[in-house]
Amino acid sequence: MAMTWFFLDIFLSWFPVVFLIGALALSAVFYFFKKISASKIFKLIIAVVSFRIVYAAALTFVQYYVWSQNELTKILARSPLGDGVFPSVFDFVFNSRLGYFLFYSYGRFWLSVFISIAAALVFYLFLRFLRKYRDRFFEEGEAELGFLTALIVGWPNFVIFVPMVFILVIIVSIFRRLFYGETYTTLGIPFLLAALTALLAGSRLIHFFRLEVLNI
């Protein structure tokens, strides 16, 4: 049993990293082989959102199972949260028999999912607005690629991803000017590089800039 939990812990820890890097790699293939399109990117967007929801649900199930196996934590798994924590409209959820567990799971597993989706959506709307007035920064499907990469990095890596995009726009522009004589660069490559940086080094950068308060 202990060995089973050991491998389950490894799976739950590393599978998200493998999946998200795989999604980023696939989006890079679409981009560099000029197979990028809004429809293909939206399929990946749906896949990433679905994965985050299913993964949060899996963690919720595992957490309930673990708590239900111990007499002390079983009380937490089967107790209401209590009055006054949430508005009364949520009483039927958090004052139910599973109230405390649902509150714990919401804060631990689900809140980051909701914030990740909301932040990526706001970023996408910003990109659509930017494209309307500065179309030269975008090729076909790149606004949707920005939406996808923002979803891939999630929260709190999003706060590293966004400034990294604009820093990389400058770096890539300088590189292309020096070696290819191109005046402008679009946002596709900066999106991909910023997402890779956020996935591989996001936690270290968050610690370096003392942004741990953003962790959920």
Q: CA of 44: how far to CAs of 90, 110, 133, 147, 153, in Å? A: 33, 21, 27, 10, 14
Determine the Cα–Cα distance for residues 216 and 214; give it in Å rounded to an integer: 6
Question: Which pLDDT score is estimated for 211?
Answer: 83
Reported for 67-72, long-range contacts at CB under 8 A and 24+ positions apart, including other chains, are 67/101
Q: Which two tokens stand for residue 23?
A: 């999604």
DSSP, collapsed to helix, strand or coil, labels residue 210 as coil
| DSSP per-residue codes, 172-193 | HHHHHHHHH--S---SHHHHHH
Q: Find where tokens 């799971």 sit.
A: 105
With 0.85 as the threshold, say if the pTM is over it: yes
Question: Which pLDDT score is estimated for 107?
Answer: 87
Angle at 51 between CA 9 and CA 116, to 5 degrees: 100
Give tens-digit pLDDT for 42-100: 899 999 999 999 999 999 998 888 888 877 778 777 777 766 555 554 565 666 777 78
The H or E element containing residue 32 is helix 2-32
Count how many residues are written for the chain. 216
Question: Which residue ranges of the chain lie beneath pLDDT 50?
Answer: 1, 3, 89
Q: Find where tokens 């596709």 sit.
A: 188
- Would you say the C-alpha torsion 149, 153, 158, 162 has a positive or negative sign? negative
How many other CB atoms sit within 10 Å of the CB of residue 191? 29
Question: Which pLDDT score is estimated for 77?
Answer: 77
Question: Which pLDDT score is estimated for 83?
Answer: 60
